[in-house]
Amino acid sequence: MQEILQYFFSGVTNGAIYAVIAVGFSMLYNSTELINFAHGEFVMLGALCMISLSAGFEMHLVPAFLITMAAVGAAGMLFERLAIRPVRHPQHVVLIIITVGASIFLRGIGMLIWGKDSYTMPPFSAHSPVDVAGAKLLAQSVWILVIVMTLTAGLHLFYRRSLTGKAMTACAVNKKAAWIVGIPTKWMVLLAFGLATAMGAVAGASIAPITMSSYGMGTILGLKGFCAAMLGGLGSLWGAILGGFLLGILEAMGVGFVSSGLKDATAFVLLLAVLYVRPQGIVGSRKVQRF
């Protein structure tokens, strides 16, 4: 039981990261129906920016975290303004190819700025691990769970209660109708890119103390976040959260009881199973539900 609980804690920690990344995918899909395959690189930028500000410049944790979110969110908005909006015929295949190219470009930028070395940083706090029935839950894992729950509640309130959130939802449902009633659809899409990439920055900054961060880390994290979004139901906030945690727990159990070689394969096996059995995801309907 102690061993199972330890694997569960590890899975919950990883699942929280996958959930935040999946939320970014779903937020952007909701507003633009675009799947951004460069999203993992924004996770990479978030991790390396956080390490540079906190460990390199010795900045306090809170301002470093906020500046990282703002900088990566601004980079996402710049990406939309320079690479997505100018496309004359924004067909899905064309936009997806652009995001793949952006992924390669951002990976190169990361290599030029931070080099090929791997970096890490101290945990957010120096508290001892929490002992639960003999299993250890790291203090950084608790931080990650608190951050994810706070973000989830904040996003839910943003979409349900704020005027801007409702305007973004209207654009997701019918962009032309939203434009007719006076909603600035281009600004809503720009904001969606900023929020989605900021979520990627949160994932990267949160995971930086418990993993080695490098310019190449974003690819696999982005793909796992996409798998989590598809597993839960692409376009659904709660589906992204559910898919992320489920993927993390199943991945940890597979590593612990079967083989460590299954760590990266688990996500893609689950993705294939979902596409064959229930393409709309666990909580999705035949038509993707909006936030």
For 36-75, the pLDDT digits (tens) are: 899 999 999 999 999 999 988 888 989 999 999 999 999 9
Helix (H) or strand (E) holding 135: strand 135-137
Least confident window among 17-31, 61-75, 84-98, 191-205: 84-98
The CA distance from 38 to 117, in Å, is 21
Among 20-34, 84-98, 193-207, the range of highest mean pLDDT: 193-207
Does the pLDDT value for residue 290 go beyond 70?
A: no
pLDDT for the residue 285: 54
Q: CATH second-level architecture of 2-277?
A: Orthogonal Bundle (1.10)
Task: Report the Cα–Cα distance between both ends of the chain, in Å, rounded.
Answer: 38
Longest C-alpha distance within the chain, in Å? 60
Q: Beta strand pairing status for 135-137 and 130-132? A: antiparallel
Alpha carbons within 13 angstroms on the beta-carbon side of residue 170 total: 19
For 151-177, the pLDDT digits (tens) are: 888 888 888 888 888 888 787 777 778
Average pLDDT for 267-282: 81
Residues 141-172: b if buried by 16+ CB within 10 A, e if exposed: bbbbbebbeebbeebeeebeeeeebebbbbbb
Percent of the chain with pLDDT over 70: 97
Burial group, residue 272, by CB count within 10 angstroms (0-12, 13-18, 19+):
exposed
What are the structural domain ranges in the chain? 2-277
Does the pLDDT value for residue 198 go beyond 60?
A: yes
pLDDT for the residue 138: 82
The CA distance from 126 to 182, in Å, is 50
Average pLDDT for 171-192: 83
Average pLDDT for 10-14: 89
pLDDT for the residue 77: 93
Does the pLDDT value for residue 289 go beyond 50?
A: no
Least Cα distance to 143 among 66, 209, 57 occurs for 209
- How does the average pLDDT of the chain come out, rounded? 86
The CA distance from 46 to 40, in Å, is 10
The CA distance from 84 to 75, in Å, is 13
